[in-house]
């Protein structure tokens, strides 16, 4: 609809343009004017303002222009009459002027200018001469904070990978990148006064004392940023109008630190028999005075290194049972009249706030940190648990709104896709529809909302070829595009269908950027003996049958009496959709079986729960070499595939880290069919009916206190 209107307007203005102006995030005002402007690799760009020099360099590098000392064809100007991040972009036959209220404003104007050029600009810059429609754009963001958080702990991303992602964020006018630098699984930033934190804590698995979680079981894997590298990331981001906000996640999520420095833990000896001696406690003791000295060293260096006015000090998901069992914590609470452990957390966070205040910085925290009483009034709260928690925070604090069910892009996008589902299962449309007003934020609460932030926690990435950005891209794009849009326009949104039209045009740019984004699934229908699939996004559709791994280009309806045998996927550029098919294709069967094991099952999560296909069962300890779990079916099962798995549904955690799978067709003789990968194995197209499957463990421990056992996933013969 909107595109049709633009085309009509352009026709009326007699503009011949190779490229209709679709800008995302949508500008406040874009008026197409008469004429065209020609741009080529010989076009010059200039500024008379030294502070804008990095943007000239950026445009030269990205678009492929020539820098000029005289007034160029494209001129960058700071205009003090405009607000921070506001810009005016004027494209005329004689040249282009970008005026911005400040550095960010001018940068935003240049990002918009890039979108007026053909998409190939994102793939090596301008190749030849192009004509663009003349226009006048007047634009500014609704929210000052348009953020994204990368979890570089669970999955290591080196400097180059982070910079590549910064490029993508910058193309969408995201202006804050939070780096989640410490967690249970890793310590990713060099601390010169305590070099072992990164040198040891940056690596897990192999000969490292840090247990390998979520992937890469057999090698020492990871890395960390030296302070020098972090400075490079910070300035790379700053050129692109992105501020890097560091997060040191405290006092919980500190298992990595505690593995290196067990003295930071509460003063009691844990029971570690079920984890083969591995201590899984993860919280700093709040009553140990030396802990504050250590954290003063660490946070002091962080404050020096990062120009950001905020230092995120965590505060989420603290396992307070540790403090309840600690005599020192209990004494501290008694002496200070504290009645619950949230107050103890407030005490801890306030001590850290005092430390960073001495360096002129303000604290940022996750929403749990405000539960135990008032924090410093300059605290920035990141609300993640729910909309209600965000609203509660916004009563008293500046708040970044990022409830998991709208902004956690590590969540699945539909039921059978990868990712978590604890918050919700959602695609970009749900992000787009998010609005403070619709969520019931009062006017005064809205005033305290500084903006939105997307995130991608990366537990599920580490086991999916983390050397490639494909998984990260798939989870985050186009959800980041929707995030960028709503953070820019606020509640003044266009109809979602119209935005989708713009998004599809924008896909051409994502293709040129090399982003492996997620397409919407093809629509599949079956009638009169013909199976059809369609898409509306310019992608090609491919199909497969259950009997073959070969993908075939779909061109026309498929005549078949067995529609469930087919599944479809669409592709364009590096993007692809999830698998789509008629419902019967995905149907599973649940034949009766029982579980036996060399390990006992837990009382609460007993084997019979999994036998009822209800939920995951648990053993009472981690696995050792030779341990086994067996699924025995009451009657032999004919099927087209059977997946057996240790560990949780979405994450390879609580698994047999190494092992193999044996199948028996008679219940007596077993044959080895393959090795576990991330604790699981799928028996594909078994030739005979299966009577029993046995999973055998070949390694000791899994860094936790039990093994999870999933019910098998069985797809019937069709
Ligand atoms: C909750 S977000 C967490 C993270 C997990 C994430 C997975 C937050 C403050 N804590 O530790 O990685 O869920 O979605």
Q: What is the pLDDT of residues 531-576, one digit of tens each?
A: 999 999 999 999 999 999 999 999 999 999 999 999 999 999 999 9
Distance 319 CA to ligand 1 centre (A): 14
With respect to residue 328, please indicate whether it lies within any of the assigned structural domains: no
Nearest CA to ligand 1 atom 7: 457
- The residues, any chain, with a CB within 8 Å of residue 359's CB and separated by 6 or more, are 299, 300, 303, 304
Pocket lining: 384 vs ligand 1, CB cutoff 6 Å: yes
Nearest CA to ligand 1 atom 9: 316
Count of domains observed in the chain: 4
Distance 422 CA to ligand 1 centre (A): 10
Pocket lining: 457 vs ligand 1, CB cutoff 6 Å: yes
Pocket lining: 453 vs ligand 1, CB cutoff 6 Å: no
Phi-psi region for residue 105, left (φ > 0), alpha (ψ -120 to 50) or beta? Answer: alpha
SS3 477: coil
Nearest CA to ligand 1 atom 6: 457
Pocket lining: 284 vs ligand 1, CB cutoff 6 Å: no
Q: What is the mean pLDDT of residues 669-698?
A: 97
What whole-number percentage of the chain has pLDDT above 70? 97
Distance 177 CA to ligand 1 centre (A): 17
With respect to residue 334, please indicate whether it lies within any of the assigned structural domains: no
Distance 460 CA to ligand 1 centre (A): 12
- What distances in angstroms separate CA 603 from CA 142, 236, 607, 618, 701, one per listed residue? 53, 53, 9, 9, 21
Distance 655 CA to ligand 1 centre (A): 20
Report the pLDDT value the prediction gives residue 493, as an integer from 0 to 100. Answer: 95
356 and 483 both lie in a single domain: yes
370 and 464 both lie in a single domain: yes
Of ligand 1's listed atoms, the one at least distance from the Cα of 317 is 10
Report the pLDDT value the prediction gives residue 253, as an integer from 0 to 100. Answer: 98
With respect to residue 401, please indicate whether it lies within any of the assigned structural domains: yes
Residue 547, CB-side half-sphere exposure with 13 Å CA sphere: 6
CB 99 within 8 A of CB 109: yes
**pLDDT single digits (tens) 621-663:** 999 999 999 999 999 999 999 999 999 999 999 999 999 999 9
Long-range contacts of the stretch 214-218 (C-beta < 8 A, 24+):
214/154, 214/155, 214/185, 214/459, 214/460, 214/462, 214/463, 214/651, 214/652, 214/653, 215/155, 215/462, 215/463, 215/464, 215/466, 215/652, 215/678, 216/462, 216/463, 217/657, 217/658, 217/699, 218/658
- 10 Å CB burial of residue 218 (0-12, 13-18, 19+) is exposed
Of ligand 1's listed atoms, the one at least distance from the Cα of 314 is 9
- Is it the case that residue 245 has pLDDT exceeding 70? yes
**What's the CATH number where 666 sits?**
2.60.120.260
Distance 405 CA to ligand 1 centre (A): 12
Pocket lining: 656 vs ligand 1, CB cutoff 6 Å: no
Report the pLDDT value the prediction gives residue 8, as an integer from 0 to 100. Answer: 44
Pocket lining: 410 vs ligand 1, CB cutoff 6 Å: yes
Report the pLDDT value the prediction gives residue 614, as an integer from 0 to 100. Answer: 87
Nearest CA to ligand 1 atom 14: 457
82 and 159 both lie in a single domain: no
Pocket lining: 217 vs ligand 1, CB cutoff 6 Å: no
**pLDDT single digits (tens) 142-174:** 999 999 999 999 999 999 999 999 999 999 999
With respect to residue 333, please indicate whether it lies within any of the assigned structural domains: no
Nearest CA to ligand 1 atom 8: 316
Distance 503 CA to ligand 1 centre (A): 29
Long-range contacts of the stretch 111-114 (C-beta < 8 A, 24+):
111/170, 111/171, 111/173, 112/23, 112/27, 112/87, 112/137, 112/139, 113/59, 113/63, 113/74, 113/89, 114/62, 114/63, 114/171
With respect to residue 271, please indicate whether it lies within any of the assigned structural domains: no
Of ligand 1's listed atoms, the one at least distance from the Cα of 459 is 12
Structural domain ending residue among the three candidates 453, 480, 509: 509
Token output for 530: 């013909």
Per the structure, the complete domain to which residue 134 belongs is given by: 2-139
Report the pLDDT value the prediction gives residue 690, as an integer from 0 to 100. Answer: 98
Structural domain ending residue among the three candidates 91, 109, 139: 139
Pocket lining: 316 vs ligand 1, CB cutoff 6 Å: yes
641 and 577 both lie in a single domain: no
353 and 204 both lie in a single domain: yes
Tally of residues, the chain: 718
548 and 629 both lie in a single domain: no
Nearest CA to ligand 1 atom 13: 457
71 and 161 both lie in a single domain: no
Of ligand 1's listed atoms, the one at least distance from the Cα of 455 is 2
**pLDDT single digits (tens) 78-102:** 999 999 999 999 999 999 999 999 9
Pocket lining: 382 vs ligand 1, CB cutoff 6 Å: no
613 and 678 both lie in a single domain: yes
Q: What is the mean pLDDT of the chain?
A: 96
Of ligand 1's listed atoms, the one at least distance from the Cα of 154 is 12
57 and 180 both lie in a single domain: no
Q: What is the mean pLDDT of residues 605-628?
A: 96
**pLDDT single digits (tens) 177-212:** 999 999 999 999 999 999 999 999 999 999 999 999
Q: Which of 316, 381, 406 for a ligand 1 pocket mutation test, highest count of atoms within 8 Å of Cβ?
A: 316
CB 106 within 8 A of CB 55: yes
Pocket lining: 317 vs ligand 1, CB cutoff 6 Å: yes
Pocket lining: 214 vs ligand 1, CB cutoff 6 Å: no
Structural domain ending residue among the three candidates 509, 536, 556: 509
Nearest CA to ligand 1 atom 4: 457
Pocket lining: 408 vs ligand 1, CB cutoff 6 Å: yes
**What's the CATH number where 566 sits?**
2.60.40
Pocket lining: 319 vs ligand 1, CB cutoff 6 Å: no
With respect to residue 335, please indicate whether it lies within any of the assigned structural domains: no
With respect to residue 98, please indicate whether it lies within any of the assigned structural domains: yes
**pLDDT single digits (tens) 374-412:** 999 999 999 999 999 999 999 999 999 999 999 999 999
Pocket lining: 185 vs ligand 1, CB cutoff 6 Å: no
459 and 599 both lie in a single domain: no
110 and 172 both lie in a single domain: no
CB 183 within 8 A of CB 253: yes
**What's the CATH number where 468 sits?**
3.20.20.80
13 and 117 both lie in a single domain: yes
CB 537 within 8 A of CB 508: no
With respect to residue 435, please indicate whether it lies within any of the assigned structural domains: yes
């Amino acid at each position: 609809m909107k595109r049709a209107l633009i085309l009509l307007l352009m026709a009326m203005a007699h503009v011949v343009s190779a490229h209709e102006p679709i800008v995302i995030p949508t500008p406040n005002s874009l008026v197409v004017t008469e004429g065209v402007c020609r741009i080529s690799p010989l076009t010059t760009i200039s500024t008379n303002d030294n502070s804008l020099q990095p943007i000239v360099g950026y445009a030269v590098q990205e678009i492929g222009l020539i820098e000029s000392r005289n007034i160029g064809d494209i001129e960058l100007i700071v205009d003090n009459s405009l607000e921070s991040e506001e810009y005016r972009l004027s494209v005329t036959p004689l040249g282009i002027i970008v005026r911005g209220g400040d550095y960010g404003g001018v940068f935003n104007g240049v990002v918009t200018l890039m979108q007026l050029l053909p998409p190939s600009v994102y793939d090596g810059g301008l190749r030849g001469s192009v004509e663009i429609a003349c226009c006048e754009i007047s634009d500014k963001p609704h929210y000052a904070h348009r953020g994204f958080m990368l979890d570089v702990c669970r999955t290591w991303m080196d400097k180059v990978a982070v910079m590549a992602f910064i490029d993508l964020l910058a193309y969408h006018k995201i202006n804050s990148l939070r780096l989640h630098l410490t967690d249970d699984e890793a310590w990713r930033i060099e601390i010169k006064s305590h070099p072992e934190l990164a040198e040891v804590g940056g690596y897990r698995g192999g000969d490292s004392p840090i247990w390998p979680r979520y992937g890469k079981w057999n090698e020492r894997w990871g890395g960390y940023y030296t302070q020098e590298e972090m400075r490079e990331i910070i300035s790379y981001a700053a050129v692109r109008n992105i501020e890097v906000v560091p997060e040191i996640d405290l006092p919980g999520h500190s298992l990595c630190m505690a593995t290196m420095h067990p003295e930071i833990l509460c003063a009691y000896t844990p029971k570690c028999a079920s984890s083969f001696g591995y201590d899984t406690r993860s919280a700093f003791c709040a009553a140990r005075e030396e802990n504050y000295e250590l954290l003063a060293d660490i946070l002091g260096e962080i404050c020096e290194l990062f120009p950001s006015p905020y230092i995120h000090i965590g505060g989420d998901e603290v396992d307070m049972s540790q403090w309840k069992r600690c005599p020192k914590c209990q004494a501290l609470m008694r002496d200070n009249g504290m009645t619950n452990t949230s107050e103890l957390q407030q005490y801890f966070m306030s001590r850290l706030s005092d430390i960073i205040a001495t360096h002129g910085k303000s604290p940022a925290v996750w929403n749990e940190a405000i539960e135990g009483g008032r924090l410093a009034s300059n605290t920035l709260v990141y609300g993640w648990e729910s909309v209600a928690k965000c609203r509660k925070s916004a009563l008293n604090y500046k708040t970044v709104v990022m409830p998991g069910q709208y902004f956690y892009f590590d969540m699945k996008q539909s039921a059978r896709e990868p990712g978590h589902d604890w918050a919700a299962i959602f695609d970009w449309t749900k992000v787009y529809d998010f609005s403070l007003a619709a969520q019931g934020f009062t006017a005064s609460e809205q005033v305290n909302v500084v903006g939105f932030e997307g995130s991608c926690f990366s537990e599920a990435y580490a086991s999916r070829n983390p050397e490639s950005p494909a998984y990260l891209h798939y989870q985050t794009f186009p959800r980041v595009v929707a995030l960028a849009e709503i953070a820019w326009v606020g509640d003044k949104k266009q109809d979602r269908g119209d935005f989708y039209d713009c998004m599809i045009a924008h896909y051409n740019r994502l293709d040129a950027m090399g982003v492996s984004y997620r397409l919407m699934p093809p629509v599949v229908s079956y009638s009169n003996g013909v199976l059809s699939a369609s898409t509306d996004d310019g992608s090609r559709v491919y199909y497969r049958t259950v009997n073959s791994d070969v993908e075939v280009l779909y061109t026309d309806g498929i005549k078949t009496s067995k529609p469930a045998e087919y599944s479809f996927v669409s592709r364009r550029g590096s993007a692809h959709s999830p698998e789509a098919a008629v419902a019967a294709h995905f149907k599973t069967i649940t034949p009766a079986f029982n579980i036996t094991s060399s390990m006992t099952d837990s009382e609460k999560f007993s084997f019979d729960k999994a036998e009822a296909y209800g939920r995951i069962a648990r053993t009472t300890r981690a696995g050792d070499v030779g341990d086994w779990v067996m699924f025995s079916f009451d009657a032999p099962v004919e099927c087209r595939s059977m997946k057996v798995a240790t560990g949780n549904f979405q994450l390879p955690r609580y698994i047999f880290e190494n092992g193999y799978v044996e199948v028996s067709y008679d219940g007596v003789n077993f044959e080895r069919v393959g090795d576990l990968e991330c604790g699981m194995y799928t028996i594909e197209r078994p030739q005979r009916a299966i009577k029993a499957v046995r999973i055998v463990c070949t390694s000791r421990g899994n860094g936790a206190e039990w093994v999870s056992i999933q019910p098998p996933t069985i797809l019937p013969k069709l």
